[in-house]
Structure 1
């Protein structure tokens, strides 16, 4: 087996793709009115999480337990892994990376735990880079470096209809959320240094989504890229953005744009109507 690659469910990797690349995905946990679920389990569909948020139910997330990751690492070692690279979402947003660090201490084989400072599709693209490196014979440390390089070179922007859900989840401060509501602005946000930051504020949702498109095109520049569009209960918006970017980026797209709906662990913090785009440099050759 060589180097095994592990990530968490916030990477939004389609199950078939993860399986084809040999990536093991660990679910983050979601708590709805005190009942805990694994991300992706029954009761945690996008429709379920949107309904819970709109009903103002208490929705939160929790990291995988270190013991669960330790068990997984042992299982991968028993299956022939000589090393493991465990690639996770920003440690500023979740304790998942810390759980991986703790589990690595007792693993029977070396484990490199990585905080990518990314989340969502940008994390997914980083994990794919690690898998490509591992498949080419890289060590766990080299695979982690490939993942980090791609994460650092990726750009993630997103739009939300309201800042309220980010406030509830502690991802932005109450003052910032109140200011957005008071000014009736539509915020464009970004992930920088592993945290949610305000990128721009515009007056209407239509202008915000048009600006999201422009920012994605700017991020692509003149390089070959892969792009992912993510949404929560925003199928029409996501389809329109995908069509526009496909036309504008043309031959710069190394692969068709990937479109996906957020799982519960991410959807819990952004709310219905969220629309995001991630632009990552294409992996042109194995590290």
Structure 2
């Protein structure tokens, strides 16, 4: 048997990747019109990011407990490593940590301090270590190493969703008066903060590509480009990164999913990068 890796649906790991590496997924929740919808399980309205009354919620203790107990059983007792969206952005990590404590010490919970494939890359690092036969401590260490090597940037087209969500740190003070700006945001120690004030969306996207290229430098890295209802913009960013970082594999391109879309709104573009050790 081997250690089993669990993550949540915000990680944006494609189903075929999860199957290949044996990664289990628990759903986060979208609450709209009095209905609780499970991300990745229930049908979610395509325009969910335009629903002003839509909110999100963490995975439930029951869902996490069931996933952990099944994974622990399937591991033959070798253990479980559970990787989740930043504790500063969601209550999922807190719920997961409490649930894991109830299940037992063979379940380790990791705060990815990121979101989308920033979380996904950490889960993948853990799953690869598990596939190579690493024990619970080594798989945990692989995940923690990946957390330190991850970076994420985001460009939003409108500030309304961010303002409603309240999930923004250092930029909160100027959001109310910065309507003419297209902010470049980054995730810093798990928090979404302002990286740069930019006057146009195109310049913000260019600045995001520049930042990623500076981070990678001459190293190799895994890259992912995300979007909300903006596949053309995502394709352009992916092409720019592939052109400027020829030593890296072409970026994975996926949508941000309904949970994250509720908070960042239509047109958003994001890049997550994991620099090789």
Q: Determine if the TM-score, normalized by the shorter chain, exceeds 0.5.
A: yes
TM-score using structure 2 length: 0.94
Question: Alpha-carbon deviation of 1:122?
Answer: 1.1
Worse-superposed segment, 151-160 or 105-114: 105-114
* 2:263 aligns with one of 265, 269, 272: 269
Contact map agreement 1:164 1:177 (CA 8 A) in 2: no
5 Å-filtered alignment, 1:187-206, equals 187-206=183-202
Structure 2 gaps of 5+ residues are none
Q: Where does residue 66 of structure 1 map in the other structure?
A: 61
Q: Where does residue 252 of structure 2 map in the other structure?
A: 258
What is the RMSD of the two structures over their aligned residues, measured on CA atoms? Answer: 1.6
Cα deviation, 1:184-205, whole Å, max 9, x if unaligned, reads: 1110000001100000011111
Distance 2:76 2:52 in 1: 42
Cα deviation, 1:62-115, whole Å, max 9, x if unaligned, reads: 111112211121222333442111111111111111121121123267101111
Q: Which runs of 4+ in 1 moved over 3 A?
A: none
**Correspondence 1:29 to 2:29:** yes
User: 1:141–1:80: structure 2 CA closer, same or farther, 3 Å change rule?
Assistant: closer
User: 1:81–1:98: structure 2 CA closer, same or farther, 3 Å change rule?
Assistant: farther
What's the secondary structure of 2:263's corresponding residue?
helix
Worse-superposed segment, 231-240 or 56-65: 56-65
TM-score using structure 1 length: 0.91
Contact map agreement 1:33 1:57 (CA 8 A) in 2: no
Distance 2:130 2:8 in 1: 18
Q: Where does residue 178 of structure 1 map in the other structure?
A: 176
Contact map agreement 1:5 1:24 (CA 8 A) in 2: yes
**Correspondence 1:278 to 2:276:** no
Distance 1:222 1:130 in 2: 25
Distance 2:105 2:173 in 1: 46
Structure 1 gaps of 5+ residues are none
Cα deviation, 1:115-174, whole Å, max 9, x if unaligned, reads: 121111111111100001111122223212211211211211110012221111111376
* 1:142 aligns with one of 138, 144, 156: 138
* 1:209 aligns with one of 205, 210, 214: 205
User: 1:282–1:34: structure 2 CA closer, same or farther, 3 Å change rule?
Assistant: same
Worse-superposed segment, 256-265 or 170-179: 170-179
Contact map agreement 1:77 1:109 (CA 8 A) in 2: no
Question: Alpha-carbon deviation of 1:233?
Answer: 0.6
The alignment of Structure 1 onto Structure 2 pairs a total of residues equal to 274
What's the secondary structure of 1:243's corresponding residue?
helix
Contact map agreement 2:238 2:250 (CA 8 A) in 1: no
Worse-superposed segment, 33-42 or 10-19: 33-42
What's the secondary structure of 1:186's corresponding residue?
coil
User: 1:186–1:108: structure 2 CA closer, same or farther, 3 Å change rule?
Assistant: closer
